[in-house]
Chain A
């Protein structure tokens, strides 16, 4: 059991070191710009621990977590799905449109919207996977291109076409507000009623997104599929050593397409918390979650639990830094600096811990061998290597 504790301590140490380092460096930046770091961090923490803010943080962490998992699925297979951004926004607008057209009983309506989002996201990412397998096109290039096509082309065009009221008539009272609203039955209710018995009343206007539970489910599913199933084993094996995986019977082409589709399916869910809160897709729909998700996945080491940590840290900084504008103790942009430094420091710290762990393992192995004594041979020839 002792080794188990050691192992956990080791894996937690790297992100913690990174966090502490980032806070120290940011303090220097704050001092240099004439702010008091203690005051600024104090404001952020006091504000961040308020119940209302915690709800905001979880609402922000939910899509970040989904986005992180989407990126991580790709990373586990050595694929860089940089297209989560386009995938989730495209999935969101299609899901919003489909959801608005339907009138179904509650659970079914929600399910249809989520499934549409996942199918659209999965299909979009699958295109990049198929291009890689059939034409050898690097997925980084194709997903960036597909992002551009979707975001500035397709989504812009669809926004106009699916404008509420059915036309771009500027006189319409609905102009510019986005797609038709999804009926109440298609929206996941918030979790306020569920958590308030424990936490006490959440201030008005703050709603804990129902997608929080979906994100938890996705995290659990990701963990089980990755670590407990044959498919997850094949995926990880291909990511670690594609040649060995191939000799072990894993078809790399199939794994590439499947991993991209799964990554895209999770990406399709990234826009759902916002869609469920707004009830429609509008021109100001939340953006950049896809790119932040890459950072979150890196911070979390593509690990289901680690990504939780990454998503919460990023969400905490995003949300709690809002107070700085009001309190005036520092510029709000300090959170971008902290996020950037955490990421850099985490990459370094992970590598340091990895090397330490490797050395430790090698030492243990050497000790075990020494304890066993020299190899003994029972039977068989003992060829001696004759020297010159």
Chain B
């Protein structure tokens, strides 16, 4: 592990966390997290999705109580019951998703909920305006208070959110992935604003997983992994490769690489697919990739670089602007989702609660989802209840789904068991191709190993798998080929036998662009 320098403690730290632990059913989101944020610094918290960053920030902002641990603000121990308590102590949070009323002006949005009133309960807009002017001047944030929010761009809206927080007297700002919604120019503008804020005495806690941004703006960095603090260090001389290694962890034993079962039969072929994004930039930009029977192709990339949209284009929930998708030689670009699923595409979605399960429905109905048109789940026009139930019992036994019975609702199961159920239903439906998006995300270690086993076995049996993952060890251990996506493009095609998480991380962040796997530093 990289030698991490501790930030020398100055007078009184703005925030001090000791041993914060937060458990959710089946998962420990924060495990004994400790960190110190000095007064007046920009402190970045980075880590992969699911590392526990957001939970930690919610605890800090009073949205969720911690199960264990001590929290100090300017040296005083605090116990927040709600965000109001946090705001009273000068902590403000800017959420990733803006909470603004489009039809109101900047001024109205800023004072909303904290309106100065004059006699008779009328809003004192004059006072509000002068206070707003004071705040924006002193922090160098430039906005016209009379503009309608709906006319503003994303960067400006974010500035409104920041001013909203400052207006309420916040000295410590929490920014939750502020750059996720911004284009590069806006990111620069945001960073300028953040430096101004810092110069005027604010402390900023900033969540991000884009390493180049973290390195560009922060004074110190805390890395979280699997809910634990891996390191806190000053931002001097640390490289993005080192950070990447800390984030994903290289000391995890890799799933062993077994002999190749790759055949010469192309199962999936994606040809020059482009998917339009929400802004001008395409989400997937001219991507070509193919997966053979018996092959696992891993897709690496920092979240939000087009992986989800590529999956959508393959399973049919989004249609590509240009390019085509072929399954076993047949062009399926125009086929709808049902046809594609029936043609043999199995799908393990990235967010199993959102796309994978009917949470309040019984397990056997969940087992049928996506395969409800075919035996054993259906008999002609009817659902075959006996067939579906028997088959669900088979899945339960073969995939070790721990459940009292198959009539309990899916929400009763732990994440790992839910995932095993999903994998079971996809793999027992005789798929030709499996799209597995983050198959081991948020599940416990035991279930993770079971999922890997299942995928390896399926590969041996000739299944073609496209594996999208943020867990670099998983990618390196399971894949026969790894492609790296960055800003919607495939920027590298690598042989997992000669990459390390460190080099992979470098490709993912764009620190390394060619195919030469040289070490940095």
Binding site for B on A (CB under 8 A): 227-234, 236-237, 240-241, 243-251, 358, 361-362, 364-365, 367-369, 372, 374-375, 377-388
Contact = CB atoms under 8 A, between A and B. Distances in A.
Contacts of A388: 228-231
A247 B355 contact: yes
A369 B402 contact: yes
B255 A380 contact: yes
Interface in B225-250: 226, 228-231, 249
Contacts of A372: 402
Contacts of B251: 386
A382 B354 contact: no
A240 B361 contact: yes
Most buried by A among B228, B339, B349, B404: B404
Contact of B445 (A230, A244, A369, A385): A385
B24 interface: no
A52 B411 CA distance: 49
B84 to A, nearest CB: 27
Contacts of B452: 380-381
Given A240-B358, A248-B369, A249-B341, A230 B378 contact: yes
Contact of A380 (B231, B347, B449, B473): B449
Contact of B381 (A229, A377, A381): A229
B203 to A, nearest CB: 23
B120 interface: no
B385 A228 contact: yes
Interface in B449-487: 449-450, 452-453, 456, 473, 477
Contacts of A233: 365, 368, 372, 383
Contacts of B412: 358, 361-362, 364-365
Contacts of B358: 236-237, 240-241, 244-245
B253 A383 contact: yes
A244 B369 contact: yes
8 contacts: A237-B361, A249-B337, A249-B340, A364-B408, A365-B403, A382-B445, A382-B449, A384-B445
Contact of A365 (B337, B339, B413): B413
Contacts of B355: 243-244, 246-247
Most buried by B among A234, A237, A240, A381: A381
Contacts of B336: 249, 251
B498 to A, nearest CB: 20
Given A377-B450, A380-B449, A247 B338 contact: no
Contacts of B477: 381
Tell me whether chain A's interface is mostly helix, strand or loop, or mixed. helix
A365 B396 CA distance: 14
B254 interface: yes
B117 interface: no
A192 B355 CA distance: 53
Nearest to A374: B446
A241 B359 contact: yes
B193 interface: no
Given A243-B354, A244-B358, A368-B402, A375 B226 contact: no
A230 B403 contact: no
Contacts of B230: 388
B365 A387 contact: no
Contacts of A369: 402, 414
B252 A384 contact: yes
Interface string B403-433: 1100011011110000000000000000000
A364 B404 contact: yes
B446 A377 contact: yes
A243 B308 CA distance: 14
Contacts of B361: 236-237, 240
A230 B373 contact: yes
B256 interface: yes
Contacts of A250: 337-338
Most buried by A among B359, B381, B412, B445: B412
A358 B340 CA distance: 35
Contacts of B253: 381-384
B317 interface: yes
Nearest to B311: A247
B356 interface: yes
Interface string B495-512: 000000000000000000
B23 to A, nearest CB: 14
A178 B267 CA distance: 68
A387 to B, nearest CB: 5
Nearest to A365: B412
A248 B381 contact: no
B500 to A, nearest CB: 16
Given A229-B381, A244-B356, A388-B230, A380 B450 contact: yes
A246 B449 contact: no
Contacts of B400: 375
Contacts of A381: 253-256, 449, 452, 477
Nearest to A372: B402
B357 interface: yes
B379 to A, nearest CB: 9
B17 to A, nearest CB: 13
A237 B365 CA distance: 9
Contact of B357 (A241, A358, A362, A374): A241
A8 to B, nearest CB: 14
B493 interface: no
Nearest to A234: B372
B82 to A, nearest CB: 23
A244 B453 CA distance: 25
Contact of A248 (B370, B453, B456): B370
A35 to B, nearest CB: 43
Nearest to A239: B358
Contacts of A246: 317, 337, 355
Interface in B73-124: none
A380 B446 CA distance: 10
B342 interface: yes
Contact of A368 (B356, B403, B447): B403
Given A375-B444, A384-B252, A388-B228, 19 more contacts: A233-B383, A237-B361, A237-B372, A240-B359, A246-B337, A247-B315, A247-B356, A248-B337, A248-B372, A249-B342, A251-B337, A361-B408, A365-B404, A365-B413, A377-B446, A377-B450, A381-B254, A381-B452, A383-B448
